[in-house]
Amino acid sequence: MTTAEYRQSVERSMSEDAFLSQVVGLARSLGWRVHHCRPVVTRSGRVMTPIQGHEGFPDLVMNYFDGEDERRDRCLIAELKSWKGRNRFGPGQPEWLAAWRAIEKRSNGAVRAFTWTPADLADIELILRGEL
């Protein structure tokens, strides 16, 4: 097995929850403020995320604020997908991402919206470092 094949195997076996934990940990270690709504299981066994508003809100909202240099201030929106589990867009998700991407254009990149998979981890780190 080549290194590329091994990497692809690891990426394909990573759950969305493990991927989420990795992205959140990396973002926090680099000084980002991170928000994610975790679903809960009710007594009846139903899984739900108690929020109000339109369905399909992205998985992560991350802000980087530099008190000394406003040119470094950024907001990232990310929808995470893995090959293991739900890897398709749910109701409302395409509309949220389209709106965030429109805002991205108007903000000259101060707000950026992404759909990420485990295969994007190297790029995710560069984005969070402000290098991409």
Domain count, the chain: 1
Query: What's the confidence (pLDDT) of residue 85?
Result: 59
Query: What's the confidence (pLDDT) of residue 20?
Result: 95
* Closest-CA residue to 11 (of 119, 85, 120): 119
Q: Which domain holds residue 11?
A: 3-129
Query: What's the confidence (pLDDT) of residue 64?
Result: 97
Query: What's the confidence (pLDDT) of residue 12?
Result: 76
Q: What is the mean pLDDT of each run of 10 residues along the chain (132 residues)?
A: 72 86 97 93 87 90 93 94 78 96 94 95 96 93
